[in-house]
């Protein structure tokens, strides 16, 4: 997703890309450390020139492969987001915080001859990934006593212990370790 700054006309250019999970891994690296997969990436950009500032308005879609945090089943989630970015000439890179545009409003990058949007896109996708993914809102998760998937079966442990909060403590593995 490298764009020659010279090719951006004042009226702006529209660009579209489709990318795979391999592209995502190459762009961000460290694929082994991730607990999610990304595929089906679609990106649209409008780049425009405002003096020497290049503004970018982008839209990203991707399919994320995750694991449900309650029942540990794999799930896929489609995410999408819009974002704005501004690129300033590299010689105007601030020594302190003296930019015209504040980074709270919009991301800022710096260019020499080429703008590479790959990393920005990959980061936008990461921002959309839920911290606690659920296969469905009402997922019942795994039984803390026997590990059975409570969405497909009922071991009855919950009913036995719900009568008293103290009864819950009896089943905890921690207690067994103390013996």
Residue 70 makes contact with Zn ion by CB under 5 A: yes
| C-alpha pair distances (Å), 147 with each of 94, 140, 141, 152, 178 | 55, 12, 9, 12, 21
58 burial level (CB within 10 Å; 0-12, 13-18, 19+): buried
How far apart are the C-alpha atoms of 115 and 173, rounded to whole Å? 54
> Which of 15, 57, 145, 171 touches Zn ion by CB under 5 A?
145
CB of 91 to Zn ion, least distance (A): 52
Least separation in angstroms between residue 142's CB and Zn ion is 8
Q: Which stretch binds Zn ion (CB under 5 A): 22-30, 35-43, 66-74, 107-115?
A: 66-74
State the nearest-atom distance from the C-beta of 31 to Zn ion, in Å: 24
Angle at which helices 118-127 and 21-28 cross, to 10°:
100
146 part of the interface to Zn ion, by CB under 5 A: yes
Which of 143, 149, 161, 171 forms a contact with Zn ion (CB under 5 A)?
A: 143
Does 54 help bind Zn ion (rule: CB under 5 A)?
no
How far, in Å, CA of 157 to CA of 168, rounded? 10
DSSP three-state, residue 31? helix
Please tell me whether residue 71 binds Zn ion under the rule CB under 5 A: yes
Cβ proximity to Zn ion: between 56 and 139 the closer is 139
Q: Residue numbers of the site for Zn ion (CB under 5 A)?
A: 68, 70-71, 135, 139, 143, 145-146, 155, 157
């Amino acid at each position: 997703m490298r764009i020659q700054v010279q090719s951006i006309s004042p009226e702006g250019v529209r660009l579209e890309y489709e990318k795979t999970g391999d592209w995502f891994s190459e762009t961000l690296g460290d694929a082994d450390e991730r607990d999610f997969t990304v595929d089906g990436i679609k990106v649209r950009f409008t780049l425009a020139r405002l003096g020497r500032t290049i503004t970018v308005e982008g839209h990203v879609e991707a399919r994320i492969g995750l694991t449900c945090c309650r029942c540990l089943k794999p799930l896929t989630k489609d995410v999408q987001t819009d974002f704005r970015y501004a690129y300033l000439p590299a010689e105007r890179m601030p020594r302190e915080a003296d930019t015209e545009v504040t980074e709270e409003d919009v991301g800022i990058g710096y260019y020499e001859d080429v703008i590479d949007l790959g990393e920005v896109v990959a980061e936008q996708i990461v921002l959309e990934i839920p911290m606690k993914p659920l296969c469905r809102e009402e997922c019942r998760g795994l039984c803390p006593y026997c590990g059975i998937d409570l969405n497909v079966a009922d071991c009855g442990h919950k009913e036995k212990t719900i009568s008293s909060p103290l009864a819950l403590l009896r089943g905890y593995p921690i207690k067994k370790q103390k013996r």
